[in-house]
């Protein structure tokens, strides 16, 4: 893809026009994510406030549809773990779809209210709160959004944001960093919330400097820096972001969890791990009949999360066993941990790939019998099973594309 670089995001580019992403199989393969440029300044803030080379435990609290989570995952080290949470169930499912396609195994997707995180024994090194807000920064792009705006709505948003911040604060480690952002301009939801964070939660500012040429407007509230993106100054839509450090508070101790995990047997592991690049990095558990691979480095933390929160998805959904044979899940097709050399792959051209995504016929004459990873430009799209002169297309029906070229 070609376009001007976004100065504050290494892999970000401005698209010169909006193509039909639905008709690009690479989009469905999770090769890229489309989001608003200003909000990608999160990358520069993260680089300045945490050491991204370390293995961090990160929480994206208000995560759907997944713009920040996909971006954060690409920035964290391979040994880090991201918990990506969304309180609204339908939105959490969209988040899960996007993160499954993104393909990183070190992720747990939860569907909880911020107050539930207090049940955890673990605390996070970094928490991102991309808060629900009055959305003034979107008015230029979506003028209808103005109809929902009122001074009362702004006040309600600010109160809700404070409640979210207060609820999640105990889940942050002492010394940890909380990044707060909105896509609105008013001070009630931005600077006044920073003042509230400082007064009520004793949050402290962190030294952050953005390149003046980028055009972000810096504000400072009780030593806490915030940055506004105003569309006439920054090449992007309206956005606000700030970061604070938690200095006091107590550190929780990770306790053994009572809720048992259902680990796979040695024999089952032999089958379900056969296509992974480094199976020794994972624990294999069974959830109902679905086998899941979890990064074993985070075993206790994941156990704690499983015992206390509502999980939508975690690690890699590998698949189910039918007798001794693996029926692979779509989660495995997208996973960066999948070893394409260990299995039969079948590459499709653009037209064929779109037909596969529509669950329509495509030419499979050259396909091997048995399970095949369907690829487009080498990227995993999903699974197909050839049985002699028939092919079963395992692309999830609810992800099927419904428009014609």
Ligand X SMILES: C[S@@+](CC[C@H](N)C(=O)[O-])C[C@H]1O[C@@H](n2cnc3c(N)ncnc32)[C@H](O)[C@@H]1O
DSSP 31: S
86 vs 304, which CB is nearer to ligand X? 86
Is residue 266 part of an annotated ligand binding site? no
Judge contact between 240 and 191, C-beta under 8 A: no
Q: In angstroms, give the least distance from the CB of 1 to ligand X.
A: 20
Judged by CB under 6 A, which stretch of 5-13, 83-91, 145-153, 364-372 contacts ligand X?
83-91
List the one residue out of 88, 81, 82, 83 whose CA is nearest residue 112: 88
In whole angstroms, give the CA distance from residue 297 to residue 309. Answer: 20
Q: Which residues of 356-374 are buried (b: 16+ CB within 10 A; e: fewer)?
A: bbbbeebebeebeeebbbb
Judged by CB under 6 A, which stretch of 82-90, 191-199, 215-223, 339-347 contacts ligand X?
82-90
| 59 interacts with ligand X by CB under 6 A | no
Coil, strand or helix at 20: coil
**373 bridge partner residues:** 345, 383
Judged by CB under 6 A, which stretch of 85-93, 216-224, 251-259, 376-384 contacts ligand X?
85-93
Is residue 67 part of an annotated ligand binding site? yes
| 67 interacts with ligand X by CB under 6 A | yes
Among residue numbers 123 through 162, which ones bind ligand X (CB under 6 A)? 130, 132, 160
| 217 interacts with ligand X by CB under 6 A | no
Is residue 65 part of an annotated ligand binding site? yes
111 vs 393, which CB is nearer to ligand X? 111
3-state SS record for 306-345: HHHCCEEEECEEEEEEECCEEEECHHHHHCCCECHHHCCE
89 vs 299, which CB is nearer to ligand X? 89
**Catalytic: 133?**
no
In whole angstroms, give the CA distance from residue 113 to residue 111. Answer: 7
Is residue 231 part of an annotated ligand binding site? no
In whole angstroms, give the CA distance from residue 123 to residue 252. Answer: 7
In whole angstroms, give the CA distance from residue 177 to residue 127. Answer: 6
Q: In angstroms, give the least distance from the CB of 94 to ligand X.
A: 9
Which of residues 45, 62, 264, 318 is near ligand X by CB under 6 A?
62
Q: Cα 50 to the chain's mean position, in Å? A: 18
Catalytic residue among 172, 183, 210, 326: 183
Which of residues 12, 114, 226, 238 is near ligand X by CB under 6 A?
114
| Cα 35 to Cα 14, 32, 40, distances in angstroms | 10, 10, 8
Which of residues 28, 68, 228, 246 is near ligand X by CB under 6 A?
68
Which of residues 23, 26, 27, 65 is near ligand X by CB under 6 A?
65
32 vs 377, which CB is nearer to ligand X? 32
Is residue 63 part of an annotated ligand binding site? yes
In whole angstroms, give the CA distance from residue 194 to residue 162. Answer: 10
Q: Which stretch of DSSP H or E encloses residue 372?
A: strand 370-376
Which of residues 25, 66, 205, 215 is near ligand X by CB under 6 A?
66
Is residue 113 part of an annotated ligand binding site? yes
| 164 interacts with ligand X by CB under 6 A | yes
Contact residues toward ligand X (CB under 6 A) are: 62-68, 86-88, 91, 114, 130, 132, 160, 164
Annotated binding site for S-adenosyl-L-methionine: 62-68, 86, 113, 130
Question: Catalytic amino acids?
Answer: 183
Annotated binding site: 62-68, 86, 113, 130
């Amino acid at each position: 893809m070609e376009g001007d670089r976004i100065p504050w995001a290494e892999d970000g580019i401005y698209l010169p026009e909006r193509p039909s992403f639905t008709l690009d199989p690479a989009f469905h393969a999770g090769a890229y994510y489309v989001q608003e440029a200003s909000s990608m300044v999160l990358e520069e803030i993260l680089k300045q406030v945490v050491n991204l080379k370390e293995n961090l435990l990160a929480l994206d609290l208000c995560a759907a549809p997944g713009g920040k989570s996909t971006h954060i995952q690409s920035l964290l080290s391979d040994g880090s773990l991201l918990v990506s949470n969304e309180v609204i169930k339908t939105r959490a499912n969209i988040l899960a779809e996007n993160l499954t396609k993104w393909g990183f195994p070190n992720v747990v997707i939860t569907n909880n209210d911020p107050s539930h995180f207090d049940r955890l024994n673990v605390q996070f090194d970094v928490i991102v709160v991309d808060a629900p807000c009055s959305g003034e920064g979107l008015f230029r792009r979506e003028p209808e959004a103005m109809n929902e705006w009122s001074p009362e709505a702004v006040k309600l948003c600010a109160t809700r944001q404070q409640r979210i911040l207060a609820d999640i604060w105990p889940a942050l480690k002492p010394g940890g960093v909380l990044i707060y952002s909105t896509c609105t301009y008013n001070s009630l939801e931005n600077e006044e919330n920073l003042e509230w964070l400082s007064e009520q939660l004793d949050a402290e500012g962190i030294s952050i400097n953005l390149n003046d040429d980028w055009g972000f407007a810096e504000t400072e509230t009780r030593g806490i820096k915030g940055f506004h993106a105003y569309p006439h100054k920054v090449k992007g839509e309206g956005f606000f972001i700030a970061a604070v450090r938690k200095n006091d508070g107590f550190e929780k101790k990770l306790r053994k969890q009572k809720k048992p995990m259902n680990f796979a047997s040695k024999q089952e592991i032999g089958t379900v791990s056969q296509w992974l690049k480094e199976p020794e990095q994972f624990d294999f558990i069974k959830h109902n009949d679905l086998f899941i691979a979890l990064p074993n480095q985070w075993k206790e933390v994941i156990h704690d999360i499983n015992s206390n929160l509502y999980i939508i998805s975690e690690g890699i959904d590998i698949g189910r066993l039918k007798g001794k044979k693996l029926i692979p899940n779509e989660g495995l097709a997208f996973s960066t941990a999948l070893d394409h050399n260990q299995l039969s792959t079948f590459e499709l051209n653009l037209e064929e790939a779109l037909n596969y995504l529509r669950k329509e016929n495509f030419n499979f004459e050259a396909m091997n019998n048995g399970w095949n990873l369907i690829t487009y430009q080498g990227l995993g799209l999903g699974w197909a099973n050839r049985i002699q002169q028939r092919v079963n297309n395992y692309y999830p029906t609810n992800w099927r594309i419904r428009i014609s070229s």
